[in-house]
Amino acid sequence: MNTWLIDPLLLKVVASPKAASLQQWCDANNASLFLSAASLSEISVGIGKMPASQSQRADALREWLEGITSRFADRIHPVDPAIAMRAGAILPRLGNGHPRHRLHDAVFVATAQVHGHGLLTRRDGVFGPWTQTPLMVI
């Protein structure tokens, strides 16, 4: 597999100062990494739910997300009709977890399938053979 769609939960890990080795790997493989626009939405929701007592952290994360959006500007896949229809076909196979998470996971997998990417994740327990998509767990 030459290109990878980054799991939004893995992308959030990259934002941590403790993830230096992961950041280095992503920097070294930058050109082969892609994002789903739905992942940006999922991360934005998480930032928006942060308590007021963490407003400085939320502001820093918003700034980080804007930087990611700029960095990946030409490598962010929109959720188009092909992805939406593929996600709809995948969704009935996802029985575990909260419905909102299942939808995001289905859109994530559908985006990878439609664009011929593998999935770059740390959640190999969530994404397995059912995805019919190569996985790289890092």
26, 14 contact by CB (below 8 A): yes
Between 125 and 71, whose confidence is greater? 71
Q: What is the CATH number of the domain that holds 44?
A: 3.40.50.1010
On the question of pLDDT at 57 being above 80, the answer is yes
On the question of pLDDT at 101 being above 80, the answer is no
- pLDDT at position 96 is 60
- pLDDT at position 17 is 75
On the question of pLDDT at 97 being above 60, the answer is no
Rounded to an integer, the average pLDDT of 43-67 is 93
Q: Quote the domain boundaries for residue 44.
A: 4-137
What is d(CA 31, CA 27) in angstroms, rounded to the nearest whole number?
9
Q: In what order do the strands lie in the sheet with 135-137?
A: 76-77, 33-36, 4-6, 118-121, 135-137
On the question of pLDDT at 55 being above 70, the answer is yes
Within 10 angstroms of residue 45's Cβ, the number of other Cβ atoms is: 12
Between 90 and 128, whose confidence is greater? 90
Domain count within the chain:
1
pLDDT, averaged across the chain: 89
On the question of pLDDT at 105 being above 80, the answer is yes
Which pLDDT tens digit goes with each residue over 8-42? 888 888 877 778 888 888 889 989 999 999 999 98
pTM above 0.75, yes or no: yes
